[in-house]
C-alpha cells in the first residue's frame, strides 16, 4: 500500500470509530467496585459478543479509591460504585456525565472459615476476645456499612485490620489470616466452599445501593451509555440476581 493509501485507510478507521450509530467498537474502560468483580466479568462476554470489536477492560477496587483515581484525572468510560456516598463524591468532583442510576443493592454478611470453627452466629460475637476480625476501612462502602451496624447495635468491633476493598477482607479469611470478616453476601457466595457465610438480621440496617454512570469526557461515551443500559437491562439484572444482589 502506498503512503497516501495508508493515510486514507487510517482516516477511514478514525472516522468509523467516531460514528454515533450502534456499531461502536474499541476499548471500554469500566471502573467498578470490587464486589462487582464476578458479575461484571460474567456480563463482559455477553456484551462483547453483541458489540463486535469491543474489548471491555475493568479496574476493580474500593469505590473510594476509584473516585480518587477519577478525580486525579484517570481515564475511564463508566463508574459503578458500591454506595451512593462515593458516587456523590464523584458527581461533586465533576467527573460524572449525567445522572447516575441505581442498578442493585447489597448487604453485609460474616465470612468465616469452612465449618465455622469459632462458632460465630451473630454480629455481637465478632466483639468477643480471642477472635481475629477484619473489616473494610471506613471510607470504603463495606466499611461504612459496618459502622452503621455498629451504631445500630451498640456493638463496637476491634478489627485486626481495615482493608481497602471487600475482596481483601475476603482473602484474609480464605487464607486463615482472620477468623472472620465483614463482606457482602455476594462476596461470600463467590467464595462458597472456601468460606462459610453467617447472616445476621442487623445487616438490614445498612443496605448499600449501587449506582452507575458514564464518566465525564469518556473516550468511548456511546459504548459507555450502552454498557450502562446493558447493566440496567434484563440481562444485567439476571446476572446480578444470580450473584446475590438485591433489586434497586
- Confidence (pLDDT) at 1: 41
Q: What is the pTM of this model?
A: 0.88
State whether residue 224 is helix, strand or coil: helix
1 assigned to some structural domain: no
Q: CA-to-CA distance for 224 and 221, rounded, in angstroms?
A: 5
**Host domain of residue 144:** 108-206
15 assigned to some structural domain: no
- Confidence (pLDDT) at 24: 73
For helices 84-92 and 63-71, angle between their N-to-C axes, nearest 10 degrees = 10
Same domain, 142 and 198: yes
C-alpha R_g of the chain = 20
- Confidence (pLDDT) at 70: 98
Same domain, 196 and 131: yes
The tens digit of pLDDT for each residue in 6-24 reads 333 333 333 333 333 345 7
- Provide the number of structural domains found in the chain: 2
CATH of the domain at 45: 3.40.190.10
What's the mean per-residue pLDDT of the chain?
92
Q: CB-based burial of residue 164 (10 Å sphere; 0-12 exposed, 13-18 middle, 19+ buried)?
A: middle
Place of cell 482472620: 178
Indicate if the pLDDT at residue 2 is higher than 80. Answer: no
Q: What is the pLDDT averaged over residues 133-142?
A: 97
Same domain, 113 and 201: yes
Same domain, 49 and 132: no
Q: CA-to-CA distance for 137 and 154, rounded, in angstroms?
A: 19
14 assigned to some structural domain: no
Same domain, 91 and 52: yes
227 assigned to some structural domain: yes
Q: Whose CA is closest to 27, among 76, 92, 63, 81?
A: 76
The tens digit of pLDDT for each residue in 23-38 reads 577 999 999 999 999 9
CA distances from residue 62 to 67, 179, 244 in whole angstroms, order as listed: 9, 22, 19
Amino acid at each position: 500500500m502506498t503512503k497516501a493509501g495508508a493515510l486514507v485507510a487510517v482516516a477511514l478507521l478514525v472516522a468509523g470509530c467516531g460514528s454515533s450509530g450502534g456499531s461502536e467498537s474499541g476499548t471500554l474502560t469500566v471502573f467498578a467496585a470490587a464486589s462487582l468483580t464476578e458479575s461484571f466479568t460474567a456480563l463482559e462476554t455477553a456484551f462483547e459478543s453483541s458489540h463486535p470489536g469491543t474489548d471491555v477492560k475493568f479496574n476493580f477496587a474500593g469505590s473510594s479509591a476509584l473516585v480518587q483515581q477519577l478525580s486525579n484525572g484517570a481515564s475511564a468510560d463508566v463508574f459503578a460504585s458500591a454506595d451512593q456516598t462515593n458516587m456523590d463524591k464523584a458527581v461533586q468532583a465533576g467527573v460524572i456525565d449525567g445522572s447516575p442510576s441505581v442498578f442493585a443493592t447489597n448487604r453485609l454478611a460474616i465470612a468465616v472459615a469452612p465449618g465455622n470453627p469459632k462458632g460465630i452466629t451473630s454480629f455481637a460475637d465478632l466483639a468477643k476476645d480471642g477472635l481475629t476480625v477484619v473489616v473494610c476501612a471506613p471510607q470504603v462502602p463495606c466499611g461504612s456499612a459496618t459502622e452503621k451496624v455498629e451504631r445500630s447495635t451498640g456493638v463496637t468491633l476491634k478489627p485486626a485490620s481495615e482493608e481497602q476493598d471487600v475482596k481483601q477482607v475476603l482473602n484474609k479469611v480464605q487464607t486463615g489470616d482472620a477468623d472472620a470478616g465483614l463482606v457482602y453476601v455476594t462476596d461470600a457466595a463467590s467464595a462458597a466452599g472456601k468460606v462459610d457465610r453467617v447472616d445476621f438480621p442487623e445487616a438490614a440496617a445498612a443496605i448499600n445501593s449501587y449506582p452507575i454512570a458514564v464518566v465525564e469526557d469518556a473516550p468511548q461515551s456511546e459504548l459507555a451509555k450502552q454498557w450502562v443500559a446493558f447493566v440496567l437491562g434484563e440481562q444485567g439484572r439476571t446476572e446480578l440476581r444470580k450473584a446475590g444482589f438485591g433489586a434497586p
